[in-house]
Chains A and B, each alone.
Chain A
Amino acid sequence: MALRRFVSHKAAVVSCIIIGILALFVILAPFTARYGVNQSVQAPPNSFLSPRSNAWLGTDDIGRDLYSRLIYGVRVSLLIGLASALISVTLGALVGAVAGFRGGKFDDILMRVTDLFLAFPFLVTLLVVRNVLGGLPWLKPLTGEMNSVRFIIVLFSIFGWMGVARIVRGQVLSLKEREFVEAARAVGASRRYIIARHLLPNSVGPIMVALTFSVVGAIIGESTLAFFGYGPQAGDGATSLGILVGAAKGAVQTGFWWLAVFPCLMLIIIALSINFIGDALRDATDPRLDRSV
């Protein structure tokens, strides 16, 4: 039933195919990329070549192939998106379920903190929290250097769980009044059992939706950070979508359009596709929500 509703959302099906192809390209990066991340396409002069046969999407300031760099960049960005989304959704679902089920002080405080966090402008909170994380020496073993990919993943995990917790909490609040939970309680099931076996499985729909939106959030977040110069550094020749989009800023005034257009388009395609998938998932898993009316 849910699957049929999902398939009827045409944009989502197309998005799935696009993301699938992208994923394939990215996983098979050594074969699909034509050059290495830091390899130049030809001997100098090779910088700022417009798109041509030996560099399909043109080259950057030091003559590297933009097409290959995009593949490697999307690889890192998808990794950041998936990893931080998985962590933050797991954390958020657990906290949200416990808060919604137990209520009381814990719930109050949690919701207050979440409101506060979400009321602030996104970039301000992100930058301040980033620096606080980097400024606590005892967190070093977990987060690594401030400009590493691991640090970015930890940052977005800490950042993302609150939105998820709020969604799951709302779901649990309405679920816990239902008869089957009451029945479970009546036969003496423990709280942990009810949360793990009844409440969380019944919230799978919203959790999946939150997961897809967290992936987009983290990918865009990484790009935003990199755009303002706070992103992961291109250590070991690695790159990310954010680094490429950040470089686009400098290419605008000089008119090297390919450096601006292709990374931006890639980010738009990824964000749109995953958002469409999330939207379709929401429609498919929530029978009350009929979009056609």
Chain B
Amino acid sequence: MLRYILRRLAWSVPTLLLVTFLVYLALRIGTDPVESYKRVNPRASRAKIQQYIDINGLDPNFVQGYIKWLKNFITGEWAPSIKGRREVWPALKDAMANTLRLGTAATVVGIFFGLIAGVLAALRPGGRRDVFINTSAFVGISIPPFISAILLQLLFAVYWQRWFGESLFPTSGVYPAGHTGFDLFLMLKFMALPTIIVAIQIIATYSRYMRSSLLDVMNSDYMRTARSKGISERRILIKHGMRNALIPVVTIAALDVGSIVGGLIITENIFAYPGMGLYFLKSFGDGDFPLLMPWMVVIVASILLFNLIADISYAWLDPRIRLE
């Protein structure tokens, strides 16, 4: 097991290098970082531009440029952002913290309710409850997050204010303008709508996964054996059914980070929530190469990490699987 993990970790280094090289290429071709620098600083001297090119590794030769960028990235010599010449790391760190908070909240809420809905549906397959949960999940998956965001904002923020004098949930930011310090209640209020919107997608997806996984398990031989031993239905469901049904679900959860981050990006933008998504869309719109590359590295690294977690958890939870 340990050897497997170490080998996978060793492999993830070249993968990370290759993918970041591809991202570097795509950004070089797609956003033309030198041009966007000149656009923001129209009167920059030639020496300034050369300095910018050097520190970001923007040589005309892509491979040499990438190696130069990589060297500066690893040694911590990060270029300041094009717009406003801000330090990149503090901005990235804040964005990561905010997204982690929103993402964790939405994932916990989403998986919790999703699993419950899936189990309820699978208990009596074909029943009225099953049809209801299945159909709602289908509708939930079909509605893109920005649509539900618009409609919920309209209802809970704008029209709630017209009808009841005060909006139930605010529509943007983490705190009201001018607020300082930490206030849990206020923060929860601001996070409620974005969390709900991301969670809807997760609930819909996981109730379907859990349902089909539990149905598979329910029809297996060891469930029949457990039943024939005279164990109560409740105990069978929890000790034998749920535990085994969760194995594939956990794996999918770990593999699914990309799509959860995708939902977060869209939601954050609509609610002006200062996380990774807003960071990306802003810097992408500005063509801000020094801000974009570290963001991409973080995203690629976390996808690789969660892939690894998926494989390991699979083997760890299911003793029949041997990783060698």
Contact = CB atoms under 8 A, between A and B. Distances in A.
A229 B144 CA distance: 17
Interface string B154-194: 10011100100000000100000000000000000000000
A289 to B, nearest CB: 10
A180 interface: no
B232 to A, nearest CB: 24
Contacts of A1: none
Interface stretch (A25-33, A34-42, A123-131, A232-240): A123-131
Contacts of B143: 268, 271-272
A71 interface: no
Given A121-B262, A135-B29, A257 B307 contact: no
A260 B152 CA distance: 11
B142 A271 contact: yes
Interface of B: 19, 23, 26-27, 29-32, 125-126, 135, 138-139, 141-144, 146-147, 150-151, 153-154, 157-159, 162, 171, 215, 255, 258-259, 261-262, 265-266, 269-270, 280-281, 284-285, 299, 303, 307
A224 B144 contact: yes
B299 A124 contact: yes
Contacts of B255: 119
A134 B159 CA distance: 41
B26 A128 contact: yes
A199 interface: no
Interface of A: 11, 116, 118-124, 127-132, 134-136, 216, 220, 223-224, 227-229, 245, 248-249, 252-253, 255, 257, 260-261, 264, 267-268, 271-272, 275-276, 279, 292-293
Contact of A122 (B142, B262, B299): B262
Contact of A228 (B27, B215, B281): B281
A272 B153 contact: no
A293 B258 contact: no
B142 A129 contact: no
A122 B281 CA distance: 13
Nearest to B147: A264
B270 A279 contact: no
B19 A116 contact: yes
A129 B25 CA distance: 11
Given A223-B144, A224-B266, A121 B30 contact: no
B258 A275 contact: no
B126 A293 contact: yes
A245 B146 CA distance: 9
A252 B142 contact: no
A123 B146 CA distance: 12
Contacts of B150: 245, 248-249, 252, 260, 264
Given A119-B307, A255-B158, A267-B144, A272 B299 contact: no
A132 B125 contact: no
Nearest to B307: A119
A130 B299 CA distance: 19
B144 A260 contact: no
A5 to B, nearest CB: 16
A279 B138 contact: yes
Closest 7 CB pairs of A and B: A131-B30, A121-B262, A132-B30, A135-B29, A122-B262, A121-B261, A271-B142
B29 A257 contact: no
Contact of A252 (B32, B153, B266): B153
Contacts of B151: 260-261, 264
A101 B158 CA distance: 56
A134 B150 CA distance: 30
Contacts of B141: 275
A293 B138 CA distance: 18
Contacts of A260: 150-151, 154
14 contacts: A119-B303, A119-B307, A122-B262, A124-B280, A124-B299, A127-B284, A128-B26, A132-B29, A135-B32, A252-B158, A260-B151, A272-B142, A293-B125, A293-B126
A127 B266 CA distance: 12
Nearest to A223: B144
Nearest to A126: B262
B66 to A, nearest CB: 16
A255 B162 contact: yes
Given A228-B269, A255-B159, A261 B30 contact: no
A271 B157 CA distance: 26
Given A11-B135, A245-B147, 20 more contacts: A119-B258, A120-B299, A122-B262, A123-B265, A124-B280, A128-B27, A131-B26, A131-B31, A136-B29, A228-B281, A245-B146, A245-B150, A249-B150, A252-B150, A252-B153, A253-B158, A260-B150, A272-B138, A272-B143, A279-B138
